[in-house]
């Protein structure tokens, strides 16, 4: 595979079994450079296990994978990857600056670059004035920020973030969102595991839904959000036979007082429904299309029983 064309991540049938527990059944996916890819699924779906295989931290039971065209076991390619683990074990006796310096040394970054990059990264994650503070005195969100700075030390071409914003306040999340956009703008790929679906909705180009170790659907975010249109109609009088006649446009018609909700697959149905109601003696007071959230889609695709 030619290095300059190969995707950031490509996997074929990756599988991981712990004893008799299948953590990841069959992971086949491709993440392009310059793409922000959301990997979402319920607790225990196999997201962290998948990430660990991508990073070569655990060996797959079966299947193959490549980062930038190099096999996962290739040690060399890992220098191009940044990683924020789900459970970061910090050296809490170090200050933030010392901690980043240690990790920069592990990457083999030279002193001059280090002196410039560490303050830049602390600034980027909003910790500029805490460089000399010991990590043991950091709050959860501050630790997550310094963990993110660590993941960016080597100016990675692929950044893998496992729940990067779970401990962050709204301003911290905004910071992370900007950082992710900045990474995409410079052509890096971002692989994001997150339960915060509103975050994923704002930042990701594509999402994969994973359930019981299988990717059940992968979609560009915009098509996912346009797939279904929820419409709320406030009408009077509520004539039951007219309301039930709405089922010709939608399988899901729910009435709650004077408000009828239904889901449509085409925007063109909206004027037709409006005409139908007027023709049948029902006045329309409001007709409001609502956007489907990623959370709605998650429940629809994964279901309520997706976890553990
Ligand atoms: N080292 C291990 N030994 C045995 N079972 C494991 C191990 N690591 C993970 N598992 C199991 O594999 C499954 C997937 O775990 P994983 O941590 O990948 O889920 P996840 O999708 O990241 O969940 P969460 O959203 O809670 O972080 C779970 O059932 C878990 O108990
Ligand atoms: Mg996890």
CB of 57 closer than 6 angstroms to any ligand 1 atom = no
CB of 101 closer than 6 angstroms to any ligand 1 atom = no
Residues 116, 99: Cα–Cα separation, whole Å: 15
CA distances, 307 to each of 42, 44, 162, 182 (Å): 5, 6, 17, 33
CB of 87 closer than 6 angstroms to any ligand 1 atom = no
CB of 43 closer than 6 angstroms to any ligand 1 atom = yes
Give the pLDDT confidence of 56-109 residue by residue, as tens digits. Answer: 999 999 999 999 999 998 888 989 999 999 887 888 999 999 999 999 999 999
Other CB atoms within 10 Å distance of the CB of residue 39: 29
Other CB atoms within 10 Å distance of the CB of residue 76: 7
Residues 115-129, mean pLDDT to the nearest whole number: 95
Q: Where are the domains of the chain?
A: 9-224, 228-291
pLDDT confidence of residue 306: 57
Which atom of ligand 1 lies nearest, measured to the CA of 50? 18
Which atom of ligand 1 lies nearest, measured to the CA of 42? 25
Q: Is the pLDDT of residue 38 over 80?
A: yes
Residues 65, 172: Cα–Cα separation, whole Å: 33
CATH 3.40.50.300 for domain 9-224, yes or no, is yes
Give the pLDDT confidence of 217-268 residue by residue, as tens digits. Answer: 999 998 887 777 889 999 999 999 999 999 999 988 999 999 999 988 888 8
Nearest CA to ligand 1 atom 27: 43
pLDDT confidence of residue 192: 96
Of 306 and 116, more confident: 116
Model confidence at 165, in pLDDT bands (50, 70, 90)? confident
pLDDT confidence of residue 2: 47
CATH of domain 228-291: 3.30.70.980
Residues 167, 185: Cα–Cα separation, whole Å: 25
Model confidence at 14, in pLDDT bands (50, 70, 90)? very high
Q: What strands lie across the sheet with 259-264, from one edge to the other?
A: 253-256, 259-264, 229-236, 283-290
Other CB atoms within 10 Å distance of the CB of residue 131: 17
């Amino acid at each position: 595979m030619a290095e300059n064309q190969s995707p950031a991540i490509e996997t074929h049938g990756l599988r991981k079994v712990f004893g008799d527990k299948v953590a990841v059944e069959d992971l086949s996916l491709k993440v392009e450079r310059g793409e922000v890819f959301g990997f979402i699924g319920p607790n225990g779906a196999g997201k962290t296990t998948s990430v660990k295989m991508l990073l070569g931290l655990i060996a797959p039971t079966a299947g193959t994978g490549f980062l930038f065209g190099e096999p996962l076991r290739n040690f060399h390619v890992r220098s191009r990857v940044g990683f924020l683990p789900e459970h970061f074990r910090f050296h809490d006796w170090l200050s933030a600056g010392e901690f980043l310096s240690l990790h920069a040394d592990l990457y083999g970054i030279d002193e001059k670059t280090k002196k410039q990059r560490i303050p830049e990264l602390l600034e980027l994650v909003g910790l500029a004035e805490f460089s000399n503070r010991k990590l043991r005195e950091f709050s959860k969100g501050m630790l997550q920020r310094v963990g993110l700075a660590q993941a960016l030390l080597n100016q990675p071409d692929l950044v893998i973030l496992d729940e990067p914003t779970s401990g962050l306040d709204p301003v911290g999340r905004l910071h992370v969102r900007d950082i992710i956009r900045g990474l995409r703008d410079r052509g890096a790929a971002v692989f994001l595991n997150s339960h915060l679906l509103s975050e994923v909705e704002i930042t990701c180009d594509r999402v994969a839904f994973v359930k019981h170790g299988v990717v059940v659907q992968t979609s560009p975010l915009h098509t996912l959000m346009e797939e279904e249109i929820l419409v709320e109609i406030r009408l009077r009088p509520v004539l039951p036979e007219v309301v039930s006649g709405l089922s010709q446009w939608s399988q899901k018609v729910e009435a709650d007082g004077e408000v009828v909700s239904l889901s449509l697959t085409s925007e063109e149905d909206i004027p037709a429904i409006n005409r139908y109601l007027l023709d049948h003696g029902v006045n329309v007071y409001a007709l409001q299309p609502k956007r489907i959230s990623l959370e709605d889609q998650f429940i629809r695709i994964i279901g309520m029983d997706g976890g553990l």
